[in-house]
A and B are shown apart, each in its own frame.
Chain A
């Protein structure tokens, strides 16, 4: 029954409803796939097979009595940034040690309330700080894709690398990630999966380990646009426990995707033609424009003037918020404690041994830009630039409904190829970070393969709260791109 892992969520729902197989069999197929294939990929850092079987049994019981819910019996993987009750949650940092939350994050609770089944916790960059999943305390996560005729281990992207890798390798039917500067869309692009960063506030942040609170947002990574729509439907909604959660109705996303894009206006921002962009990325972008035109959309050039300043502004704002958020890890109430000569010594030793190099770098940058005498020059300046970036989008969305760009400036790179240079690594998010800075929804759709035979993605950016239009156009791109090849299974033993 190993074929069950190759189903989409939509197909699995139909199969369960038609009693073609049981939720227990669906869970078992994935548990076996994880046992056989997780070791070389390192996508799951904590598989939870017993929990999965228990939840699947409950789903079978509900299906039997006709009380099935939207995600009844659908096995999912969860990024280790989401607090899961009584199940170890670490953000892939040593500092959280063996932390077992006594509560459940709102987004994951929404998924369980819809009947989903937990397969386990997925790898990510430590505290979601990274673009390659190489900063995890649990080791690198590996992309199931490889270059043509080359066994080099490639990164799955980050920070939601485990989520993207697990979906691409059929180790779950869908996964949940978080996106602060591109952490869902960039790994989705690098693994040939669909990744959605919803509007800021669309999904509750309650119970998600905080990185940069004004930028963080949860979203799905899935095999298809339809599956992403189904997952987002269950995840989204107002939550009184998160004051930044938006109190707005959640439309029927799955319904919306079939509506077509006749007459929709698509903007192409000239500023995304960055220097040194490979020709294959530019070609893919042009192909995407043709696909949307062929489906009846009107395409026009638009200008997002401050695009090039988004990344440097982000690298002030995100570390500043991180330095503040991560102040809570002091070895006193939970997590790692390293004994010292006195209280301050204990703080300093606990944090020195609990945080990895990239997290330390960002906490220190954040501390610096917020420190006396520098606040205005750095932090406030970056916030003003953020206003301008958002204004650019507001102006553009007076004229168009969506913006189309590439998701990443390059395909997946090898493990260790970029990690020595923090600035080079940051450039991975050059096309995705603007969306977080402006609080907008964005999606990455697999659109083709690079010359190396690895996946490339196109990004659509939408108006605030207009995920429905985003998914509609994404579905058109997916249909036009046609079925892409799947990576050959080298990871199962």
Chain B
């Protein structure tokens, strides 16, 4: 699968990564090469195969829906680029 520059820019937008013109150009050929290479999977007949998300034979663990952790807001905001009174400070989202 070949991707063009517009597609690269669209994906970059979805991934929230700003790309320069030069990066977009390089990514166009790099992503195309990788996506072309993975296309060999189409040789495999998977008509009757179920997709597998987990490789471990294990039933899903469950627990009671109750609070088991928390109560330390200072720890939560300790690494924040900007915080104020245990709140994260972010740019204005709603005008």
Q: Is A265 an interface residue (CB 8 A)?
A: no
* B41–A364 CB distance below 8 A: no
Q: Name the 10 nearest CB pairs between A and B, nearest first.
A: A439-B55, A383-B51, A334-B79, A337-B81, A384-B46, A348-B18, A352-B18, A102-B75, A387-B52, A312-B38
Q: Is A34 an interface residue (CB 8 A)?
A: no
* A384–B18 CB distance below 8 A: no
Closest A residue, CB atoms, query B83: A333
Closest B residue, CB atoms, query A103: B75
Cα A342 to Cα B78 in complex, Å, equals 24
The total of interchain contacts (Cβ-Cβ below 8 angstroms) comes to 161
List residues of chain B with CB within 8 A of the CB of A152: none
Closest B residue, CB atoms, query A345: B18
* B33 CB, nearest partner CB in chain A, Å: 6
In this complex, how many residues of chain B approach chain A with their Cβ under 8 Å: the count is 55
Q: In the complex where A246-B58, A348-B18, A390-B52 touch, is A332 in contact with B37 (Cβ < 8 A)?
A: no
11 contacts between A and B (CB under 8 A): A246-B58, A312-B37, A315-B38, A316-B41, A332-B80, A333-B76, A336-B81, A343-B93, A351-B18, A387-B49, A387-B50
Q: Which of A156-164, A228-236, A365-373 contacts B (4 or more CB under 8 A)?
A: A365-373
List residues of chain B with CB within 8 A of the CB of A334: 79-81
Cα A99 to Cα B92 in complex, Å, equals 24
Cα A347 to Cα B93 in complex, Å, equals 12
Q: In the complex where A332-B90, A348-B18, A388-B46 touch, is A243 in contact with B34 (Cβ < 8 A)?
A: no
* A102–B78 CB distance below 8 A: yes
Q: Is A437 an interface residue (CB 8 A)?
A: yes
List residues of chain A with CB within 8 A of the CB of B37: 312, 315, 423
Q: Is A325 an interface residue (CB 8 A)?
A: no
* A381–B8 CB distance below 8 A: no
Cα A246 to Cα B54 in complex, Å, equals 13
* B66 CB, nearest partner CB in chain A, Å: 14
Q: Which of A355-363, A402-410, A451-459 contacts B (4 or more CB under 8 A)?
A: A355-363
Cα A337 to Cα B81 in complex, Å, equals 6
List residues of chain B with CB within 8 A of the CB of A214: 53-55
* A333–B41 CB distance below 8 A: no
* A364–B31 CB distance below 8 A: yes
What string of 1s and 0s marks CB contacts (under 8 Å) between B32-73 and chain A? Answer: 011101111111101001111111111011010000000010
* A323–B79 CB distance below 8 A: no
List residues of chain B with CB within 8 A of the CB of A315: 34, 37-38
Q: Is A57 an interface residue (CB 8 A)?
A: no
List residues of chain B with CB within 8 A of the CB of A368: 3, 7, 11, 31, 35
* B19–A309 CB distance below 8 A: no
Which residues of B are at the interface with A, using a C-beta cutoff of 8 A?
A: 3, 7-8, 11-19, 23, 27, 30-31, 33-35, 37-44, 46, 49-58, 60-61, 63, 72, 75-82, 88, 90-93
* A312–B40 CB distance below 8 A: yes
Q: In the complex where A200-B56, A201-B58 touch, is A385 in contact with B46 (Cβ < 8 A)?
A: yes
Q: Is A49 an interface residue (CB 8 A)?
A: no
Q: In the complex where A367-B11, A367-B14 touch, is A346 in contact with B91 (Cβ < 8 A)?
A: yes
B19 touches which one: A246, A330, A352, A365 (CB < 8 A)? A352
List residues of chain B with CB within 8 A of the CB of A349: 18
Q: Is A380 an interface residue (CB 8 A)?
A: yes
Cα A102 to Cα B76 in complex, Å, equals 8
The listed residue with most A CB atoms (<10 A of its CB), out of B43, B49, B52, B56, is B52
* B40–A309 CB distance below 8 A: yes
Q: In the complex where A309-B44, A334-B81, A381-B46 touch, is A422 in contact with B17 (Cβ < 8 A)?
A: no
What string of 1s and 0s marks CB contacts (under 8 Å) between A100-117 and chain B? Answer: 101100000000000000
Q: Is A47 an interface residue (CB 8 A)?
A: no
List residues of chain A with CB within 8 A of the CB of B15: 323, 351, 363-364, 367
Cα A244 to Cα B11 in complex, Å, equals 31
List CB contacts (< 8 Å) of A56-89 with chain B. Answer: none
Cα A246 to Cα B56 in complex, Å, equals 9
